[in-house]
């Protein structure tokens, strides 16, 4: 299931965005045009993120894993993003904490229970400093995509 959710054309390497809202707008547009989400996805994503922030305070690179209600998803996906410059993102466990995030993995699921396993796999791998350095140093979107495809646990 997990590798089936990865699509090369969803990788965004060095995406330029002034803030979280711009990241959401740009990605919602891409995901909608490619048939992954409904037109109402952007608003749903913003509402969910406001109530349940998604930044993980992983060192040295905090990561955000935004996702929203399954009713907004047409096709399941993982959209790996590396921003050109970090943007502020509120922490999942402590809403008062804000982190500078460059790495974002936007997730879309068709079943409400699918995300638990994937989140565990991603969080475990994000703690691998060698992997995160390789993602940080990837020169092309193809290289970035291959690194994400190679994440331990993504093959099933």
The domain spans of the chain are: 3-149
Task: Output the pTM of the full model.
Answer: 0.94
Mean pLDDT for 22-50 is 98
3-149 topology per CATH: Mannitol-specific EII; Chain A (3.40.930)
Structure tokens at 124: 């475990």
- Which pLDDT score is estimated for 3? 79
> What CA–CA distance (Å, rounded) separates 118 from 8?
18
- Which pLDDT score is estimated for 156? 58
- Which pLDDT score is estimated for 118? 86
Q: What is the pLDDT of residues 132-143, one digit of tens each?
A: 999 999 999 999
Provide the 10 A C-beta neighbour count for residue 97.
Answer: 14
- Which pLDDT score is estimated for 2? 78
Q: What is the pLDDT of residues 87-131, one digit of tens each?
A: 999 999 999 999 999 999 999 999 888 778 888 899 999 999 999
């Amino acid at each position: 299931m997990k590798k089936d959710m990865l699509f090369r054309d969803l990788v965004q390497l060095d995406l330029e965005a002034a803030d979280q809202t711009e990241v959401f707008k740009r990605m919602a547009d891409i995901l909608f045009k490619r048939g992954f989400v409904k037109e109402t996805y952007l608003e749903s994503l913003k509402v969910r993120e406001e109530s349940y922030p998604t930044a993980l305070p992983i060192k040295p690179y905090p990561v955000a894993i935004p996702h929203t209600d399954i009713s907004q998803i047409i096709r399941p996906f993982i959209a790996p993003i590396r921003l050109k410059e970090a943007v502020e993102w509120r922490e999942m466990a402590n809403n008062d904490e804000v982190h500078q995030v460059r790495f974002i993995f936007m997730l879309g699921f068709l079943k409400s229970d699918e995300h638990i396993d994937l989140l565990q796999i991603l969080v475990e791998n994000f703690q691998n400093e060698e992997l995160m350095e390789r993602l940080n140093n990837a020169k092309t979107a193809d290289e970035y995509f291959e690194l994400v495809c190679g994440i331990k646990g993504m093959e099933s």
